[in-house]
Structure 1
Amino acid sequence: MKLPGPTAGLRIGLFGGSFNPAHSGHLHVAQTAMKRLNLDWVWWIVARGNPLKSQHGDFAQRFASARKIAHDPRMIVTDLEAQLGFTYSWQTLSAIAQRAPGADFVWIMGADNMVGFHYWQRWQDIARLMPIAIVARPGVGPGARNAPFARMFELQRLPEVMAPLLPGMAPPAWVYLKGPLDPSSSTAIREGRV
């Protein structure tokens, strides 16, 4: 696996997804995390496939859509998961963390993913591997508060004002970032509702 850039001493957000296709809501999540956590970089990790979905879409097209959307110069779209040949996020994140022990990594996800996070393979291991930043998404408020992840790790949640401290914290640690919402949806785009 070839890492997309330097890591030692840097605060790096890891933002994974199918990106089928990538859209402004994904960019909003990445930019919100970058700004609120004072990240040096955000690496977009385009998933090889999603074990929880039957249709993944063409990898090359999904990768290209992410590169088109992630136009911030401190965001890098990567094929790390494809390089590794992994399918599950915990595998990918473990491999990245092992290869770059000097970085302060944070896993970034939208609140819509947090609601179903407990369906991911070894989701509790992900929470114990690196801090997690959850970015608000439209229509997810109560679902996020009641998600199994939020309940299990309730005592490890940071107040939002402490978000800049998250990258240097020992996991499990997480923060929920509220703010303006972007209603874009990959499903709506694929179904032609946009």
Structure 2
Amino acid sequence: MRIGVFGGSFDPIHHGHLIAAAALAEALALDEVRLVVARQQPLKGGGHAAPPEDRAAMVELAVRGDPRLQASRAELERDGPSYTADTLRSFRAEQPQAELVLLLGADAAAELPRWREADAVRALARVEVFSRNGGAAESGELQVPRVDISSTAIRALVRAGRSIRYWVPDAVAEYIAARRLYREA
């Protein structure tokens, strides 16, 4: 079994995340891609706009119906910062025979040397780098379709009382409205 590991804040998850995950699953012949919701990203300042439970629920709604994409709460089950090495170890313990493939946008990959236990991350998983936001792919990088959507823009639309239809799956838009997420800065 080949498992892709795609981490993020997903605050909120949007079609850009889903298209990238599906394209990477196809390009790398992955059996599944786990979208891992970060509790607290150590190298990113500030907190998240939505609580971890809401972000995880939105990911679960977004991937419903696609057997290749799986929502993961692995990092929410631990207190403190979300360290990728710990997450990969937990996946390795669950499925020792699986090949783990860590999926990183080029921006995150550039920060990998600064990560806690970066060598362990590389030992636990094959690292595949993809170009985000339509930038030119470096040698060895995978190209994913450009989808000019950001979680920041979605939160701004919600705050402004505008529609986010077509930016996020309908179930996610309904969840955001029902829970009144992102209405305040």
Superposition TM-score, scaled by structure 1 size: 0.70
Aligned-pair CA distance for 1:26: 0.8
One-letter amino acid of the structure 1 residue matched with residue 22 of structure 2: Q
Matched, 1:16 2:7: yes
C-alpha RMSD of matched pairs (Å): 2.3
How many Å apart are 1:113 and its aligned residue?
Answer: 2.1
Alignment of 1:45-56 (within 5 A): 45-51=36-42, 52-56=44-48
Alignment of 1:68-83 (within 5 A): 68-71=61-64, 72-83=66-77
1:137: which partner in 2? 132
Displacement of 1:179 after TM fit? 4.2
Residue 42 of structure 1 and its aligned partner are, at CA, apart by: 1.0
Cα distance per residue 1:26-72 (max 9 Å; x no partner): 11221111001111111111111212231123112211221232242
Aligned to 1:190: 155
Q: Partners in 2 of 1:74 and 1:139 — Cα distance?
A: 24
Structure 1 contact 112–140 (Cα < 8 Å) conserved: no
Q: What secondary structure is seen at the aligned counterpart in 2 of 1:34?
A: helix
1:120 match: 115
Alpha-carbon distance between aligned partners in 2 of 1:118 and 1:140, rounded to the nearest angstrom? 21
Equivalent of residue 34 in structure 1, options 9, 25, 35 = 25
Once the two structures are aligned, what percentage of the paired residues are identical? 33
- The count of corresponding residues between Structure 1 and Structure 2 is 155
1-structure distance, mates of 2:76, 2:88: 13
**Contact persistence 2:131–2:144 (CA under 8 A):** yes
Render the CA deviation track for 1:110-155: whole Å, top value 9, x for unaligned.
Answer: 22322333333223331232101222211544xx75xxxxxxxxxx
Letter of the 1:53 counterpart: G
Residue in 1 aligned with 2:57?
64
Q: Secondary structure at the match of 2:39?
A: coil
Structure 1: unaligned runs, 5 residues or longer:
1-9, 146-158, 160-174
- Greater helix share, 1 or 2? 1
- Which is worse superposed, 27-36 or 70-79? 70-79
The one-letter amino acid of 1:78's match is S
